[in-house]
Structure 1
Amino acid sequence: MAVIVDLTLPADSFELGQILRIEGTTEITVETMVPLGGRPTPFIKIQNGTREEFERTVRNHPSVDGLQLVNSHDGELLYSLDWQSSDFSLLQTVLDLEGVLLSATGTADTWSLELRFPTHETLSKFQEYYLEANIPVSIKHIYNPTKPDAGPWFGVTPVQRETLAYAVESGYYSLPRATSTEELAERFDISDQAVTERLRRGISTLVANTLLVDPEDE
């Protein structure tokens, strides 16, 4: 059964953190990882960064063959990165184990990754790799997606997840209730009925993909 792991590691211990060096409050997100020519080619989005300094730093890295600006909108820059991945790098090891990078976000100090492996055995091999390589990985969560097609958040859409998370954090489900439906609707700039429906659909999907799974499917 597939297994998903959320982890963090220092930026200087991760190849993209070494290449995509940033300062201050700048944040980088790997939008997607496309295999081109037998190697992973990331598309990256950067926010609150200094464009010229960032581009110069990345292009001067010895493993980088090219950095191309794909799109620019409202202060966000989207790049494609052409780089030579080492056979023993963390990302290459993930790909060799048939793993998938679901998400990656980096700051000047830390990167957060979400990885999916086909089995617990391949995850164990990945853990053996980073321990032997002395990479200080911190595991946050390990879980099994109950349905292979449900996605990393059990089928819940990004807006449903954001709304459900905010509702829980703001005390919507607390007793006594700390926030109202009207306040949730105002927070997401939608109607009371729309926010109620969003929560209902999100909870229904979450239950269907977790509690209502046939044991034979597992």
Structure 2
Amino acid sequence: MYSTDRHTSALVALPRHNVEDPTNGVEAVKYKSDAFEPWVAEDVAKFCTTWQIGTRQRLAFELLLCSGLRRSDIVRAGRQHMVGNTFSMRTQKTGAEMTVEFPDRLMSVIAQTQTGDLAFIGGENGQPFTTESFGNWFRKHCTKAGVEKSAHGVRKLSATLAANAGASSHELMAQYGWATSRQAETYTKQADRKRLGVRASKLVAEQIEVELSPHLNPSAKKTAKS
């Protein structure tokens, strides 16, 4: 709606009232984000170069990587959960029983590190961490190593390694304490896609040799005819 300004003889737009906003009632698009980025090989190299075997920081990393424990469980994990090399614990978050076998390398790291009385990883006073204090402590030492990631990112790396090696959804559930297969399948699907992609590419390469090889090298035909 417009009116004419007496002084300028120009059309001036009048404010419009009660105009309906077309975005009313439309929900904003929600983007799925992953707050905890998984570690990669370069992160592992930086951390292990900074924190040598014998330090609590290195023991915490090795435990996270080999067991895949959550922060809420690693602060409680201790020798009371061990029978030989086998570690079993009921997870705090889901109540699921998880069981893993610690490799000899991890057992050696534990033997070479001063541990707490009630847990493998303890604070300066020897007492166990709380979930939050452990997370903050570990992230601080990650930053010192040049790794801007978290303890949960190590758990994600551990699950990725297991899935890439062919672990099934139920095997992942048993190790990582998941109550349903939904979480496990996020890793197995990614691993399966990689394996299937590699397998398919090999099949393509084989068929190229069988069906297209002569066409890809026309000079071979001329040589054969001569």
How would you bin the TM-score normalised by the shorter chain?
A: 0.3 to 0.5
- Give the TM-score taking structure 1 as reference length: 0.32
TM-score (norm 2): 0.31
Q: Which has the larger radius of gyration?
A: 2
Greater strand fraction, Structure 1 or Structure 2: 1
Which has the bigger relative contact order, CA under 8 A and spacing at least 6? 1
- Structure ranking higher in helix proportion: 2
